[in-house]
Amino acid sequence: MIMYPNIYYEKKLWNRGFKFIAGVDEVGRGCFAGPVVAAAVVFVKNSIFQLPILTKTNEKIFINDSKKLTEKRREASEKWIKENAVTWGTGEASVAEINRLGMGKATKTTFRRAVANANIRLHKKIEYLLVDAFYIPYISGFPKGNNKGIKGSKKPNINDSKSKQLAIINGDEKSISIAAASIVAKVYRDNLMIKIGKRNQYKIYDWPQNKGYASKTHRQAILKHGITKHHRKQFVDTFLRKKNLT
C-alpha cells in the first residue's frame, strides 16, 4: 500500500487559528551544475485531500515527494497545484551565489525568496511555515521558537506558541504542502536545466537528461571538456580531487 503525505500538520495549525500555512521545500542541492531552487505552496484552510486526487476529467493527480513521481506525473501535479493552491512561489540561488555563499546559506536564501514570492501572489502574509528538514534563519515574521520536538516523540512540537515555523524530517513524505512545494520546485528547476542544456555549447553535458546531477555522461564530459559558468566549482573540485586530477 502506497503511503501518501497528509494534512496532519496543516490541520493542527488551522485549528490553532492560522489560515495561510505554507509548505516549503528545495531541490538541486546535490547537483554539479545549475541553481538550487525552492518553492512555497499554501492550500485553502480545511482542504480535504483524498490521494490520488481524481479530477473532473478523471485524471489522477499524485502529490508526494517529487522524487517518487515520474516526470509525467510531476508535470500534471504541478499544473493542478498552481491552479488549486491559495498561493505559490519559487525562489532560486544562482551558481555564482552557491560558489560565493556555500550551499547551506544559498539554500536558505532560496527559501526566503520563495516565501516572499508567494506573499506577493497572495496579497497578504503567509502566517506559518512547514519546512522540510530544517529551520529557515533570518526570515522576518517567522521565529522558530523552541519546537525541536517533544522528548520521546518522533514528531516535532507543533504547539510552541512562540514559533511560526516547523522543521519536519522527511517533510515531503508527511505534509501535503511540503510535498506540493517539492513538486513545484522540481518542475521549475528541471525545465530551467532543459532550456540551458539545449544550447549548443552545453549539449555535451546532457543536462536535459541529468538536470545537472552527477550522471556518468555528465562526469565524463567534465573530465574531457572542463567546467562552465553553470557549474558549482566546489562540487566539481571535490569530484576532481577524488579522481586525482587537481
What pLDDT band is residue 150 in, cutting at 50, 70 and 90?
very low
Range of weakest confidence among 16-30, 77-91, 131-145, 170-184: 131-145
Average pLDDT, the chain: 92
Per-residue confidence (pLDDT) for residue 153, from 0 to 100: 45
d(CA 246, CA 75): 40
Per-residue confidence (pLDDT) for residue 132, from 0 to 100: 95
Looking at residues 21-26, what average pLDDT do you find? 98
Domains and CATH numbers, the chain: 8-194 (3.30.420.10), 200-242 (no CATH)
The pTM for the full model equals 0.93
Looking at residues 167-175, what average pLDDT do you find? 95
Per-residue confidence (pLDDT) for residue 159, from 0 to 100: 82
Nine-digit cell at 91? Answer: 525562489
| CB contact at 8 A, 245 and 220 | no
pLDDT in tens, 196-214: 999 999 999 999 999 999 9
| CB contact at 8 A, 37 and 96 | no
What pLDDT band is residue 175 in, cutting at 50, 70 and 90?
very high
Q: Give the chain's radius of gyration (CA, Å).
A: 19
Looking at residues 153-179, what average pLDDT do you find? 87
Check whether 86 has a pLDDT greater than 50: yes
Per-residue confidence (pLDDT) for residue 148, from 0 to 100: 56
Per-residue confidence (pLDDT) for residue 151, from 0 to 100: 41
Q: List, in sequence order, the alpha helices (H) in the chain.
A: 8-15, 71-84, 95-101, 103-122, 176-197, 207-210, 216-225, 233-242
Check whether 74 has a pLDDT greater than 60: yes
| CB contact at 8 A, 25 and 58 | no
d(CA 207, CA 215): 9
pLDDT in tens, 104-142: 999 999 999 999 999 999 999 999 999 999 899 999 999
Q: List, in sequence order, the alpha helices (H) in 123-215.
A: 176-197, 207-210
Query: How many other C-beta atoms are found inside a 10 Å radius of the C-beta of residue 104?
Result: 11
DSSP type of residue 13:
H
| Number of separate helices (H) and strands (E) present in the chain | 8, 7
